[in-house]
Amino acid sequence: MGKEAEIIEMIQTILKHQAMPENEVTPSSELYDDGIGLDSLCVAELSAMLEKTYGSDPYTSKEMPRTVSDIVNFYGDA
């Protein structure tokens, strides 16, 4: 599975943990209020998952990712 697919699966897992509707998540999906609807606790969980899986976390960088693609790009195209 490529990184993009893995990251989309992580987000879907978090939505499931929250019993939130599993809307379609695409690379261009906005992560927060107007998009998928992740709140700060969900984002915190995503950040911990990313750190655990890839050893680094885009939420520690200056610019906060806004879309799924922003996260994928943080890790490069691998």
Partner 1 sequence: MIEERFRDALARCPERAFLLGARHEHSYSDFYQHCLRLAGGLSRLEGHRIACYMADSAQLIAIMLSAGMSGKSLLLLSRDFTEQQLPTLLQRYDVDTLFCDSIPRVKLPANVLDANALDVIAESEPLIAPMEGEVLLLTSGTTGDPKCARYSWGDLFAQVKEREVHEHEYWLLAYRLNHFAGLQMLVHVLRNNSTLVFAQSNKVSHAIEAMRHFPVTHVSSTPTFWRYALATLPSSEHGLALKHITLGSEPVSASLLEQLQQAFPDTRIVHIYASTEAGSCVCVSDMRPGLPVSILQRDDSADVQFQIRDEELYIRSAHGMRDYVGSEERADRDEEGWMATGDLVRIEDKRIVFMGRRTETINVGGVKVHPLEVENVISAIEGVKLARVFGMDNPVVGQIVAVDVVTHNGHSEQAVEAAIREACLVLSRHARPRSIHFVDTMETHNFKLKRQ
H or E stretch at 51: helix 40-54
Rounded-to-integer distance, Cα 36 and Cα 32, Å? 6
Instruction: Give the interface segment with partner 1, choosing from 2-10, 25-33, 55-63, 70-78 (CB under 8 A).
Output: 55-63
Question: Which is closer to partner 1, CB of 23 or CB of 39?
Answer: 39
Applying CB under 8 A, does 60 fall inside the site for partner 1? yes
Binding residues for partner 1, per CB under 8 A? 17, 19, 40-41, 43-45, 47-49, 52, 57, 59-60
